[in-house]
Amino acid sequence: MQLQVMEEALLELEPMSDEQFFDFCARNPEYRIERTAEGRILVMSGTGGKTGNRNMELSFQLQAWSKQDGRGVAFDSSTLFRLPNTAMRSPDAAWVSRKRLATLSEREKEQYLPLCPEFVVELTSPSDRLPEVEEKMREWMANGCLLGWLLHAEARHAHVYRPGGVEVLKNPPVLQADEPLAGFALELKLIWDPGW
């Protein structure tokens, strides 16, 4: 099925197997597509310039640190994860330890990773509704994420999610990660103000 969608939409489609969903996404590469635990399909259009640049900076910093650190692998916003609750979700950035990735088959590595990342970041864009992004962060945590950052760019707030709760930091210039990414520091001033 080829899509023609102008903005974010919730589609009511027949339930799809993981393989059907994989094929559906492959036939519609211009969209970010997710599937909720209830089987609903979420289709999102591309981002605006500032959000795209912020996401690139976020991914760049995580990738650079991850390659240097070597304990895990960083993933960008186009990566879908099949969560334990059956949802297919894509964070703006994620990290998974090499130890967990080693348990996957080559086929599993080629398709959607059947696990919840240990670390995720969600970056809001002007069109996002904060309560919906917060709900998505709670879903990540409920499915096994150990550390999550929700970056609310317009307000310059960082919501730090851990299994025990959420902490909101106002306009922090840097976020220091603890386990499982001890040593990673995200320079938020480069995300808050892209400089153009």
Most confident of the following: 13-22, 55-64, 123-132: 55-64
Comparison of pLDDT for 183 and 3, the residue scoring more = 183
Name the 3-class secondary structure at 192: helix
Name the 3-class secondary structure at 186: strand
Looking at residue 5, what is its pLDDT?
Answer: 41
* Mean pLDDT, residues 100-114: 94
Q: How confident is the model at residue 3 (pLDDT cuts 50, 70, 90)?
A: very low
pLDDT tens by residue, 134-146: 999 999 999 999 9
* Mean pLDDT, residues 154-167: 95
CATH code: domain of residue 72 = 3.90.1570.10
* CB count in 10 Å sphere of residue 1: 10
pLDDT tens by residue, 51-99: 888 889 999 999 999 999 999 999 999 899 999 999 999 999 999 999 9
Whether residues 41 and 97 share a domain: the answer is no
Please give the torsion angle defined by the CA atoms of residues 178, 183, 124 and 122, in that order, rounded to the nearest 10 degrees: -60
Whether residues 61 and 135 share a domain: the answer is yes
Residues in a beta bridge with 97: 72
| Residue among 137, 106, 135 nearest 120 (CA) | 137
Give the phi and the psi of residue 167 in degrees, each rounded to 5. Answer: -125, 130
Whether residues 58 and 77 share a domain: the answer is yes
Whether residues 166 and 75 share a domain: the answer is yes
Q: How confident is the model at residue 12 (pLDDT cuts 50, 70, 90)?
A: low
Q: How confident is the model at residue 2 (pLDDT cuts 50, 70, 90)?
A: very low
Whether residues 51 and 22 share a domain: the answer is no
| Residue among 54, 103, 108 nearest 79 (CA) | 108
User: Which are the contacts of 70, defined by CB distance < 8 A and separation ≥ 6?
Assistant: 98
CB-CB contact of 83 with 113 (8 Å): no
d(CA 110, CA 107): 5
pLDDT at 119 over 80: yes
Range of the domain at 39: 1-46
